[in-house]
Amino acid sequence: MEGRFYSVRGTEKEKAEADVDPWKRTPPRLEAEKGGPIEKLWTIYDQSKVEPDVMKRHKLVWDMIKIHVENGPFVQGTVANFKRVIPTSIDLRNVPMPEDLTLGGFTDPWIHPTPAVYDPESWFFDNPEAHGGQA
């Protein structure tokens, strides 16, 4: 939500729909808390985009990393719950689909390695003999 807000800063959308629920805005977006870690990340990130000195840019990156360590982690500009390919055998059954999972799954496996931890003991092959098992 805050990443979406960041993407509309400086446009007519930034102040539009201020009285509308953040989830119902177009696009859905939420302004960073004043003085909070996200606002601090934005400020440093904006500085890093215009800083010509390489070593000063490196320092700014380290400053952002410190904020992540102390308050995060945060991911700027990432859209959650994007479609990911999860390869499974066509014969493997009872593997959850994205629509079976809360919010359609998670972004990247570092949060929760879905579907690996989603009741794998309940998965089965509909033709086990083709997969080295017994019928």
- Which amino acid, residue 24? K
Contact predicate 122/92, CB 8 Å: no
For the entire predicted model, the pTM comes to 0.54
Domain boundaries, the chain: 2-71, 92-131
Extract the tokens encoding 122. 């309940």
Rounded Cα–Cα distance for residues 125 and 92 (Å): 5
Per residue in 46-65, pLDDT (tens digit) is 999 999 999 999 999 999 99
Per residue in 70-97, pLDDT (tens digit) is 997 765 444 555 566 667 788 888 877 7
Rounded Cα–Cα distance for residues 125 and 94 (Å): 9
The structure tokens 């390489």 sit at 54
Residues contacting 102, CB < 8 A, separation 6+: none
Residues contacting 6, CB < 8 A, separation 6+: 32, 42, 76, 77
Mean pLDDT, all residues of the chain:
81
3-state secondary structure labels for all residues of 71-132: HCCCCCCCCCCCCCCCCCCCCEECCCCHHHCHHHCCCCCCCCCCCCCCCHHHCEECCHHHHC
Give the pLDDT score at 20.
Answer: 94
